[in-house]
């Protein structure tokens, strides 16, 4: 989980909670479905995450999930 304030110093104070969860792909032969809530979808290995363009908080949250699973990174 990662909590951040998108517009620091503004009132009312607002925070965004990012919750990272993982899953096991049961149908690796099928393409993932893009929902109406997203513009793009991608699948990345844990080793690729550090090189992705996203806030460090997301990357840290993903790495923490992998550690809890006993996996790298």
CA 49 to chain centre: 9
Q: Which residues contact 62 (CB under 8 A, 6 or more apart)?
A: 20, 46, 49
pLDDT of residue 48: 94
Assess contact for 11 and 70: CB atoms under 8 A.
no
| pLDDT tens track for 41-69 | 888 888 999 999 988 888 988 888 888 88
| pLDDT tens track for 19-44 | 777 777 889 899 888 889 888 888 88
Q: Which residues contact 55 (CB under 8 A, 6 or more apart)?
A: 4
Q: What stretches of 1-73 adopt beta strand conformation (E)?
A: 2-4, 16-18
């Amino acid at each position: 989980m990662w909590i951040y304030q998108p517009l620091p110093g503004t009132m009312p104070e607002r925070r965004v909670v990012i919750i990272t969860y993982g899953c096991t792909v049961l149908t690796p032969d099928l393409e993932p479905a893009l929902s109406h809530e997203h513009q793009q979808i991608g699948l990345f290995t844990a080793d690729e995450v550090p090189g992705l363009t996203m806030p460090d908080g997301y990357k840290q949250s993903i790495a923490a999930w992998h550690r809890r699973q006993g996996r790298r990174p």
